[in-house]
Structure 1
Amino acid sequence: MKLAELLARARRIRLVLTDCDGVLTDGGVYYSERGEEMKRFHIRDGMGVVRLRECGIATGIVTGEVSPSVRTRAAKLQIEELHLGIKDKPACLAEILARTGLRAEEVAFIGDDTNDVEILRLVGLSACPGDATSFARAEADLHCQTAGGHGCFRELAEFIIAAQGREGVNQPHAK
């Protein structure tokens, strides 16, 4: 897809949805000897959520996992849409669209694996991390350079913000 078409699609976005594992995390899971699961999130992705919110763009997580750490991260970032344990992501998207009144072309989704392929086909702007599977890469409009868990969500956020002419939001000013 040409850059002009990607920018046109990004200008329409009002909601950015993301998978969690492999996008907001590097896909690794840490287990303690007591069985506690821990995930590593990148701070820059969190700032991407904040910057999108400052532009009036909502965010959400749609993941097949049910993880307390994802719930905690979403609460900290004040993420509007949190959908855990989702096996049918297109049905979840349909529910979100019906409830919010948004159209599919106003939604972006970033995912990294086979369970994201169907929803990547349905949204207005689809993206994948730099290290996504070939299945996700084949469907995504935008291929981030950054790997999952290392700022790819932020890369997508900044692309959308720039396309909407809001580059300067929350940027430090030179002295």
Structure 2
Amino acid sequence: MKGVTNETIELAKHITMLILDVDGVLTDGSITLDNEGNELKTFNVKDGHGIKMLLKEGINVAIITGRTSIAVERRARELGIKDIYQGCEDKVAAYEDLKIKYSLYYKDIACAGDDIPDIHLMTRVGLPIAVGDAVEDIKKFARLITTKEGGRGAVRQICDFLLKSKGILKGIIDDYAKA
């Protein structure tokens, strides 16, 4: 992770909500269309487990995406993500809804993005994060940049960083080692 400092670790300690984009963050940005018009997306299992760990530890995860996909709805349900905003031309409206719903301040929220439509969110959160293969223009707004690419472990890297910053990750690993 690029940008890890004492300051970003302190910011991470206050995060109670992680907002994720889909295409380019939870996926590698590829959109596959089959001959029947179905849209296929590939999600990373390790990213999914990271999300489950966050949720288990009381850190909410939300999806805000400009596109609409049945695959996203299904994957979010499988992971236990309750807040899914698809087809958002105005991602800020969804962000504001989450702030009200959970009584959050900007400093309570981290957001991961990969492209210019994510700038509106990244400038409004306490911990803006870009995935490793994000466009250069988005990296300028990030406090942290993953070394992993979107859909290839970037979200897991973010989850592990948040849990480690809060002093929780070691206990999770220890619990798995005991089982």
Which residue of structure 1 aligns with residue 87 of structure 2?
85
- List alignment gaps of at least 5 residues for structure 1: none
* Mapped partners of 2:37, 2:21: distance in 1: 23
Deviation at 1:80, TM superposition (A): 2.2
Contact 1:19 / 1:61 at 8 angstroms: preserved in 2? yes
Which residue of structure 1 aligns with residue 22 of structure 2?
20
* Mapped partners of 2:16, 2:154: distance in 1: 19
Contact 2:21 / 2:113 at 8 angstroms: preserved in 1? yes
Q: Provide TM-score, normalisation by structure 1.
A: 0.96
* Mapped partners of 2:177, 2:35: distance in 1: 47
Deviation at 1:100, TM superposition (A): 1.4
Matches within 5 A, 1:13-162: 13-162=15-164
Contact 2:122 / 2:128 at 8 angstroms: preserved in 1? yes
Q: Secondary structure at the match of 2:177?
A: coil
Q: Provide TM-score, normalisation by structure 2.
A: 0.94
Q: Secondary structure at the match of 1:5?
A: helix
Q: Secondary structure at the match of 2:18?
A: strand
Letter in 2 for 1:133: V
Q: Secondary structure at the match of 2:114?
A: coil
Contact 1:54 / 1:169 at 8 angstroms: preserved in 2? no
* Mapped partners of 1:67, 1:31: distance in 2: 12
* Mapped partners of 2:11, 2:172: distance in 1: 23
Runs of 4+ in 1 over 6 A off after TM superposition: none
Which residue of structure 1 aligns with residue 177 of structure 2?
173
Letter in 1 for 2:30: G
Q: Secondary structure at the match of 1:119?
A: helix
- List alignment gaps of at least 5 residues for structure 2: none
